[in-house]
Copies of this chain bind each other. A is one copy, B any other.
Amino acid sequence: MTSRTEPLTESLLRRFHAVIPAGGVGTRLWPLSRADAPKFLHDLTGSGTTLIRSTYERLSPLSGERMMVVTGIKHREAVCRQIPELEPADLVLEPEPKDSAAAIGLAAAILHQRDLSSGRGESTIMGSFAADQVIAPVDVFQEAVREAVAAAAPSADSAGKIVTIGITPTHPSTGFGYIRAGEHFEADGAPHAQQVVEFVEKPGEEIAQQYVNSGDYLWNAGMFVAPVGLLLQHLQQTEPELHAGLTEIARSWGTEQQDEVLARVWPQLPKTAIDYAVAEPAAAAGDVVVIPGDFTWDDVGDFAAIARLNPAADQESMTVLGEKARVYSEEASGVVVSETKRVVALIGVENIVVVDTEDALLVTTTDHAQSVKKAVEALKEKGDSDVL
């Protein structure tokens, strides 16, 4: 397949640096996903590849070695095992979780600092894509990223745009935020770009149906492509304190002071989402563009998603995840995720979800998949945090 956007975008892609924020425990996937082994470190599609590795492999054809991961300090080893190709300077380890504005903002600030040091006078175009999403087909996704890079690029008379990739909704989901797309946005190499009118929060069912019917709304998948300078400008305007802290850390990055500065400044940073800190105010200022993404996208939010993403192999319609799984099922359907060598026998249970780990067992149904979060909160209160 040849790209529609050759050759302009190819030169822009050399300025493209992929950023993978790898955070979020994925509470609704407990007991599989937990503080020590969050969602992105699991293979939830039976592909043999963890979600973070799949994310890397999806992006590296575009970014090459220009790849940064922002994750919690306790995941250092796991992430290095998953992405041994990562440059040490491109592994950003958060001393504690500070939400997405700090994580993505620090990546932007570090990349911006490199731009300044290089003296090239060109802004890196970063693309931030969460580590725990499932996307197919990959080439359609990559084509959308190419368009996003083209639409984001600054020019002589413009600082560029913050470009998001919005997913064409397949149903009126109440679990996602939406992006309201407006007029066509004119940009070389980005024939599908549209101005973003606004970002809207997760709607109720009726509103969600109206959104889907209108054809004007896309799912907000939290994908952002932007010149780092522009992203930081907006961050500075909305969250000056956060911007100042991140800039201080970025200036020390790669120097002997890095660890000391990070340890001192990071804990003081305000906690906020990139949506509030950058995307929404930038959209209000007319600075956000969207590329519609006609690929399937799943954030694997719960075990119902796992059942959906992994069609059952046998006629019993039982989805089984787990290399060592020994599952026997009879008049049963649903999903079994096995992290043990135990025999699991399922008899006469429909749409069941069984997650079997060494220290915790979950039994629920796909209909109750969203309630797992509540169970985790209750276990925390009961003092069972050893298994969370």
Contact = CB atoms under 8 A, between A and B. Distances in A.
A379 B349 contact: no
Contacts of A348: 364-365, 367-368, 371
Interface in A182-213: none
B343 A374 contact: no
A78 interface: no
A330 B372 CA distance: 10
Contacts of A374: 330, 347
Nearest to A384: B343
Interface residues of A, number: 37
Contact of A343 (B346, B360, B365): B360
A359 B384 contact: no
Contacts of A363: 344-347, 349, 352, 354, 363
A27 to B, nearest CB: 12
A343 B31 contact: yes
A9 B41 CA distance: 73
Interface string A328-365: 10110000000001111111110010101011111111
A378 B326 CA distance: 13
A354 B355 CA distance: 12
A120 interface: no
Interface of A: 30-31, 326, 328, 330-331, 341-349, 352, 354, 356, 358-365, 367-368, 371-372, 374-375, 378-379, 382, 384, 387
Given A331-B368, A331-B371, 4 more contacts: A330-B375, A344-B360, A345-B361, A347-B375
12 contacts: A31-B345, A330-B374, A331-B368, A331-B371, A343-B359, A343-B360, A345-B363, A346-B363, A347-B363, A347-B365, A347-B375, A354-B363
